[in-house]
């Protein structure tokens, strides 16, 4: 696995974890722990960039918004 692919996987995991918390209004430590672990892994990676991090956060909010709108239509 290349470093770039590895970074993409880490950011994808972070985005999914954050989206899950936003979508389910999770308050449990397990879900918060998942996003904390994903965030720590992203920040420790040698190819970490603030730009990519902000894109991952924006993607999570976009996915959450899509879920919210889909739920409102039902």
Whether the CB-CB separation of 64 and 22 falls below 8 Å is answered with: yes
Q: What is the mean pLDDT of residues 19-48?
A: 83
Model confidence at 26, pLDDT cuts 50, 70, 90, reads low
14 within 8 A of 42, measured Cβ to Cβ: yes
Q: For residue 4, is pLDDT > 80?
A: no
DSSP 2: -
Question: Is the separation of the CB atoms in 10 and 42 below 8 Å?
Answer: yes
pLDDT value at 45 more than 80: yes
Would you state the pLDDT for residue 28? 63
Look up residue 55 and give its two tokens: 């894109």
The predicted pLDDT at position 58 comes to: 95
For the chain, the domain total comes to 1
* SS3 assignment, position 49: coil
Structural domain for 35, as ranges: 3-73
**What does the pLDDT average to over 51-68?**
92
Angle between helices 3-24 and 29-44 (to 10 degrees): 150
């Amino acid at each position: 696995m290349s470093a770039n692919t590895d970074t993409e996987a880490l950011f994808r995991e972070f985005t999914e974890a954050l989206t899950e918390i936003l979508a389910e209004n999770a308050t449990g430590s397990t879900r918060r722990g998942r996003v904390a672990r994903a965030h720590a892994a992203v920040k420790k990676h040698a190819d970490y960039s603030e730009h990519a991090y902000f894109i991952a956060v924006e993607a999570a909010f976009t996915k959450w918004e899509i879920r919210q709108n889909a739920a409102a239509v039902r």
